[in-house]
Amino acid sequence: MFEPLFSRLDHFESPLCQRMSTWHQRPIVGGTFRVASWLGNGPAWGILIAATLVYSEPAVGVMLLATTAINLGLYKMLKSKTVRRRPFVFSAQVCRGGAVLDEFSFPSGHTLHAVSITTVLWSASPLLALWLVPVTLMIAASRVVLGLHYPSDVLAGAGLGVVVAQVILMI
C-alpha cells in the first residue's frame, strides 16, 4: 500500500542521505551524533521520567509515561504496516554509522519520543523543555546523519510526536 510512495521518496531522499551519512565519518561529528542517538534510545527519557515522578509533579511523570506508551504502540504499529527499508539498505552509498533497534525506517521512533516528551514537558516546565530542545534536535538529526532514517521518517516522527503530546495534554 505504501510501497509506491516510499519508492519515490527513497529515490528523492537518497542523495541527501548519502551526503549526510558521510558526516559521521569525522570522529567528533560521528561521536557526537552516536551519543545523541544513544540518548534517544531511551536512557535520557527513562531518567527524565523517573526524576519527574520522584522530584517534581507526579502528574507530569504520569503524562510522560502515557506519552511513551502511546508512542511505543504507535510507532511499532506503523513500522509493521509501512515496512519502509532503511536508507543504508536502499543504497549501498549510504554509510551506516550506528546500530538499528528494528528492521524498518518509517517513522523515526527516536524523533517521535524526543518531540513528544519535550512538547509535554514544555507545558509543565518551559525552562526544562528549553534545555531539551537542542537534545531533541540532535537526536532527530542523528537519525539521518547516521544513515538510519530518511528525512521524511524524521519529519513524520516529529509530527506524530506533536500530535501525541497534544492528545496527552488535552486529557
User: 105 and 85 in contact (C-beta within 8 Å)?
Assistant: yes
Per-residue pLDDT reduced to its tens digit, 48-59: 888 888 877 788
Q: What CA–CA distance (Å, rounded) separates 51 from 63?
A: 13
Mark 33-44 as b/e (b = at least 16 C-beta within 10 Å): bbebbbbbbeeb
pLDDT at res. 146: 92
pLDDT at res. 48: 83
Q: Give the C-alpha distances (Å, rounded to integers) separating 20 from 7, 87, 152.
A: 20, 11, 14
Q: What stretches in the chain show pLDDT beneath 50?
A: none
pLDDT at res. 125: 83
pTM: 0.91
Q: Where are the domains of the chain?
A: 32-170
Per-residue pLDDT reduced to its tens digit, 12-27: 888 888 887 888 788 8
